[in-house]
Chains A and B, each alone.
Chain A
Amino acid sequence: MAMRPRQLEREGLTQRPIEWGWLFPVLVVSATGVLVLALGDNRARTSSSGAQLLYWTGLLLIFVPPALRALAPSAERAERVALLSALALLLSLVKVLEQPTQLSFFDEFGHWRSLINLLQTGHLFAPNPLIAISSSYPGLESAMAALMAATGLPVATAAPILIGAARLLLLLCIFLIAERVCGSDRAGAAACIVYLCNPSFLFFDDQFAYESLALGLAALILYLSLNRPRARSDRRAWWGVLALACLSLVVTHHLTAYALIGFLVLWAAAAAVLRRRGVDAPMPLVPILLMVGCELIWLATAGRPTVSYLAAIFGATAQEVLALVLHQAGRGLFQAANGQVEPLWQRALGLGSSALICLAMPVGLVEMWRNRHRQRRMQARLWALVVVSAGYPASLLLHLTTDGAEVANRMGGTIFIAVGVVLAATLDLGWPERVVRSGALARASWVPPAAMAVWLAVVFSGASILGWAPVQSLPGPYLVGADNRSVDAVSVAAASWTLDALGEHNTFAADLTNANLLGTYGDQNPVSGTSTEPMDLLFFSPTFDQTDLRILRRDHIRYVLVDRRLSTAVPLTGAYYAAGEPIAALDGRPIPASWLNKFNTVPGVNRVYDNGDIQIYDVGALLDARR
């Protein structure tokens, strides 16, 4: 039987040539933005003027022209998809250009260590001294090991390729999901554009970490769930593929898997309500069964430590929220832990971005309510997405607490899929196809795109400020306790020396940044101590005392690494050695240099390494309890 033309087009078999529209000129502009941004990064490396201007100009050049064109009523589906794919890949370069030669984000080191363990032992689940939970979720490391084996690339080069592919998958799936749910490819593009304005997209979800891969896999499962085949012969294949996708997500990241299960249950509940009202709303029972089944098996076996790990994170957040409600504590918005406040224009953009999204959401909801009968079979998915999108304003409140801000950033990656679908309807109103077609705006045809360009520029740049502190978005000289800005050649050299001179897997006490470098470049085992007597107490006393000795012996610490630069500033992220350290006792002053130098005069302690900023002490002689 011959296929109809519409079906042919959907299945890619049509003879009609593809109209690429403005794709290629827009790509050139966007690529120019990448070059401008790279120039800005290089100026920032040498602390030259103009770095910020070049960075923000480049960022907006990368994003706004393709986003605007992808939303244009005149663009064809193929052009929109190509533009969105290009955007996914070009925006991935923003983090790469910041530090192109090495991994530098905090979480990346934990996953790199799991990868090192996998490559060295040939087995999964080896203990990870940097991020213990990482060894229970080896999906990312498994994919990375395969990519490195096939290409021969080192981890720092292979990681952006793997994560870039995951982000491309994520954007394609969001496009297909929103297109299916809302019934138009323009809505699909709009949902993707809004998703790119999620604060986590530019940096947090671009790092070599399990969530970055898991988001793409979760979107794939959602896409498959929405596209259950009608033919029975195809359904078996669908089951198999869905099972593979569910298993891969469950072994990759806990929170993303739970968020997906939560959404599927919400969708099922919405479908149940609609069915009572006589609407034919399909229920996602097979995906729920597969996800829950895989998750339970994983939690009962390799994922056992997950519950205590997440309980600690959410417990801390709950305590902070409670303290905030009771007016006992809180976190200043746009203020780093060391008291550094972001410039006014950045604060205004951050607030403006959130305000514009919050204001646009009710408009989108009204529009969706008006059009609710167009896609009757999709209604349950649509309302489930609407409920999830309500989590966005709630997540903004979490930014008022330190741990809450961390949780809010992690939520962004999932919530914004729903926010994107809701806002797709608003964007359609902002640049309406029907008005443009009717010629009503013929004399002022530039108004809708210009207004849309401003909206996109504010929302996108504001979101990037909210998601990653601007001081950490650009490269530059070493900063104390500033995540990626604290990784420099001095620390890498010290960590690499430990592997060459001391061998692997020695127990170390060190600050957060150097612990990460020791655990990867050095293949050493940094310790964090216990909850009652954490390792950081070793550095928070003016003289070497019995508590210090007890910590060394209890944790079998053989080497102590001291970074004297810590005494020059309060850490940007709020901690030198570990969250919860007694830094408040310093009254906003940096840790005294004399406290860090105390190991120089302890009898029996060898100072075995010195590069000016970093010293390494061998405290092995103190471990013998008979001394």
Chain B
Amino acid sequence: MRVAEWNRWTALAAGAVIAAGVGLTGIGGTVLGVLLGVPLVLVLPGLALTGALWPRGRGVPERAALAIGLSLALAAVSALALNWLPGGVTPARSTVLLGMVTLVGACVAAARRPLEDPAARPRDPWRPPIRAHQAAMLVLALALVGAAVTLAVRGAEQATGPGFTQAWMLPRPNAVAVGLGNDQGAAQAYRVVLNDDGQTLQTWGDVRLAAGAHWSATASVPAGAGSEVTLRVYRRSDPERVYRQLHVTVTREGK
């Protein structure tokens, strides 16, 4: 019992160190980050604290509630503790703090582990608590939930509405910065015309943009031009109709 308890808390301490290391370095990418980072914040600190403060065992629901509850409580006040340090709250400090709490808690829990009780026989660690057909059903349930989430993510990504094109124009000294963004869901071709009091300053006759692509340019506004510049955007599929129209007042340096 004492050895098993010792091993359990040592494993927890090691897990916390590894999880904090992965969180700090980003090694292993998102998958490893999630697999280790979620327990590091939401389970391990509370579990270690519970073991350190109450070395005698508790039922699984009680332990689970205390592990999650104390972890959430620690995470909620962690920024409060770091806020008054020079440099304040940083992602690295939050991770190190929770890792340290787990490490210290696990060490204390290991030191305070209870003496063996002859009536208390731990379950065989090599015998899984569920049978094969139950495990199969659990995997099936998880697969169904995974499929549901994947389906929803794909559905949300595809449902972008009727599609639209962004156009912008920002004044710069003696110039304007113009741009287009194609969010129509398919490739589009545009004609872009820059006017000044009815006179064309510049035309971009064939701006072709793939779905999701952006285009930008800068056009200078000559000193003799008026102060208000107009940008008109036409779609190649409907070349006569003004699709987007913008206007800005350009400031002239040295004038």
A residues adjacent to B (C-beta < 8 A):
2-5, 8-13, 15, 17-18, 20, 23-25, 27-28, 30-32, 34-35, 37-39, 41-42, 45-46, 77-78, 81, 85, 90, 93, 96-97, 99-101, 118-119, 121-124, 138-143, 145-153, 161-162, 165-166, 168-169, 172-173, 175-176, 213, 216-217, 220, 223, 229, 234, 237, 240-241, 244-245, 247-249, 251-252, 475, 477-478, 488-490, 493-494, 497, 501-502, 604, 606-613, 618, 621
Which residue of B has the minimal Cβ distance to A18?
Answer: B129
Please give the distance in Å from B46's CB to the nearest CB on chain A.
Answer: 9
- In the complex, A249 Cα to B142 Cα: how many Å? 33
- In the complex, A142 Cα to B97 Cα: how many Å? 12
- Check A146–B65 contact: CB distance below 8 A: no
- In the complex, A251 Cα to B61 Cα: how many Å? 26
Which residue of B has the minimal Cβ distance to A97?
Answer: B152
Task: Given A11-B59, A161-B38, A240-B53, answer yes or no on A93-B145 (Cβ-Cβ < 8 Å).
Answer: yes
Q: Which of A45, A217, A612, A621 contacts B73 (CB 8 A)?
A: A217
Interface residues on B, range: 35 or more
List, in ascending order, chain B residues with CB within 8 A of A247's CB.
Answer: 73, 77, 80
- Check A621–B61 contact: CB distance below 8 A: no
List, in ascending order, chain A residues with CB within 8 A of B219's CB.
Answer: none
Task: Given A146-B95, A152-B26, A168-B68, answer yes or no on A248-B73 (Cβ-Cβ < 8 Å).
Answer: yes
- Check A146–B70 contact: CB distance below 8 A: no
- Check A217–B160 contact: CB distance below 8 A: no
Which residue of A has the minimal Cβ distance to B251?
Answer: A621
- Check A13–B122 contact: CB distance below 8 A: yes
Query: Can you spell out 30 A-B residue pairs with CB atoms less than 8 angstroms apart?
Result: A32-B144, A34-B145, A35-B148, A35-B151, A38-B148, A90-B145, A96-B152, A101-B153, A123-B83, A123-B88, A142-B89, A145-B91, A149-B94, A150-B37, A152-B30, A152-B33, A152-B34, A165-B42, A165-B68, A169-B72, A176-B62, A220-B66, A234-B53, A248-B72, A248-B73, A493-B181, A502-B170, A610-B246, A611-B167, A611-B183
Interface of A is mostly: helix
List, in ascending order, chain B residues with CB within 8 A of A4's CB.
Answer: 119
- Check A147–B69 contact: CB distance below 8 A: no
- Check A175–B165 contact: CB distance below 8 A: no
* Contact of B159 with A by CB under 8 A: yes
B residues adjacent to A (C-beta < 8 A):
19-20, 23, 26, 29-30, 33-34, 36-38, 40-42, 49, 53-54, 56-66, 68-80, 83, 87-92, 94-95, 97-98, 117-123, 129-130, 133-134, 137-138, 140-142, 144-145, 147-149, 151-153, 155-161, 164-171, 179, 181, 183, 244-249
Q: Which of A25, A161, A252, A488 contacts B161 (CB 8 A)?
A: A488
- In the complex, A486 Cα to B166 Cα: how many Å? 19
List, in ascending order, chain B residues with CB within 8 A of A176's CB.
Answer: 61-62, 65
Please give the distance in Å from A93's CB to the nearest CB on chain B.
Answer: 7
Q: Which of B36, B72, B149 contacts A165 (CB 8 A)?
A: B72
Q: Which of A96, A122, A149, A607 contacts B247 (CB 8 A)?
A: A607
List, in ascending order, chain B residues with CB within 8 A of A240's CB.
Answer: 53
In the complex, the 5 A-B pairs of residues with the closest C-beta atoms, listed nearest first: A149-B91, A122-B88, A142-B79, A151-B37, A150-B37
Q: Which of A101, A488, A502 contacts B157 (CB 8 A)?
A: A101
Which residue of B has the minimal Cβ distance to A490?
Answer: B164
Please give the distance in Å from B17's CB to the nearest CB on chain A.
Answer: 13
Q: Which of A93, A140, A141, A501 contacts B168 (CB 8 A)?
A: A501
- Check A223–B65 contact: CB distance below 8 A: yes
- Check A138–B80 contact: CB distance below 8 A: yes
- In the complex, A81 Cα to B64 Cα: how many Å? 11
Task: Given A100-B149, A607-B246, answer yes or no on A31-B117 (Cβ-Cβ < 8 Å).
Answer: no
- Check B74–A118 contact: CB distance below 8 A: no
Which residue of B has the minimal Cβ distance to A229?
Answer: B54
- Check B57–A31 contact: CB distance below 8 A: no
- In the complex, A131 Cα to B62 Cα: how many Å? 36
- In the complex, A13 Cα to B88 Cα: how many Å? 44
List, in ascending order, chain A residues with CB within 8 A of B40's CB.
Answer: 150
Which residue of A has the minimal Cβ distance to B160?
Answer: A489
Please give the distance in Å from A111's CB to the nearest CB on chain B.
Answer: 13
List, in ascending order, chain A residues with CB within 8 A of B164's CB.
Answer: 489-490, 493, 611-613
- Check B183–A39 contact: CB distance below 8 A: no
- Check B156–A609 contact: CB distance below 8 A: no
List, in ascending order, chain A residues with CB within 8 A of B119's CB.
Answer: 2-5, 8
- In the complex, A618 Cα to B168 Cα: how many Å? 12
Q: Which of B30, B65, B142, B161 contacts A153 (CB 8 A)?
A: B30
- In the complex, A4 Cα to B118 Cα: how many Å? 11
- In the complex, A122 Cα to B83 Cα: how many Å? 7
Task: Given A35-B147, A217-B76, answer yes or no on A493-B166 (Cβ-Cβ < 8 Å).
Answer: yes
Other A-B pairs beyond A152-B30, A607-B246, A610-B246, 9, CB < 8 Å: A5-B119, A11-B59, A24-B134, A143-B41, A176-B61, A241-B49, A241-B66, A489-B164, A611-B244
- Check B68–A606 contact: CB distance below 8 A: no
- Check A152–B161 contact: CB distance below 8 A: no
List, in ascending order, chain B residues with CB within 8 A of A101's CB.
Answer: 153, 156-157
Task: Given A12-B60, A20-B130, answer yes or no on A149-B170 (Cβ-Cβ < 8 Å).
Answer: no
- Check A124–B83 contact: CB distance below 8 A: yes
- In the complex, A490 Cα to B185 Cα: how many Å? 13
- Check B144–A35 contact: CB distance below 8 A: yes
List, in ascending order, chain B residues with CB within 8 A of A172's CB.
Answer: 61, 64-65, 68
Please give the distance in Å from A194's CB to the nearest CB on chain B.
Answer: 18
Please give the distance in Å from A548's CB to the nearest CB on chain B.
Answer: 19
- In the complex, A28 Cα to B160 Cα: how many Å? 32
Please give the distance in Å from B84's CB to the nearest CB on chain A.
Answer: 9
List, in ascending order, chain A residues with CB within 8 A of B54's CB.
Answer: 229, 234, 237
Please give the distance in Å from B233's CB to the nearest CB on chain A.
Answer: 9
Q: Which of B20, B89, B156 contacts A123 (CB 8 A)?
A: B89
